[in-house]
Amino acid sequence: MRIAVYGTLRKGMPLHGYLTGAKFLGEDWIEGFELYFKYLPKAVRGKGRIKVEVYEVNEETFRAINEMEIESGYRPIEINTKFGKAVLWEWPSKVDGAKVESGDLVEYFKKVRN
């Protein structure tokens, strides 16, 4: 099963440990989404694009991540990536916080920290 992650599950981010043992397939840009950040990153449908990392995960890893994401208020959806279909967790509600204009949360954090 493939997943596409854009936030705290990406390399160098706090929850990346969930992906220990997963196969990294590569990065992609997904059109039709905008990214916001306030405590948590939130991808919502929009006119922008977001940067994702795509991973091949086993059922156990998928279940753990899916449960965590749903409990946090996200909704799993299927998207197309250059590596094939993947699950991405979008934010289904109204968003607040800072818009990540670049669509790349890792790059955003690098700029905020400096």
Give the catalytic positions in this structure: 69
**In the chain, where do the E strands start and end?**
2-5, 23-38, 40-56, 75-81, 84-90, 98-99
Q: How far is Cα 45 from Cα 6, in angstroms, rounded to an integer?
A: 14
Contact 43, 91 (CB under 8 A): yes
Look at residue 73 and give its three-state secondary structure.
Answer: coil
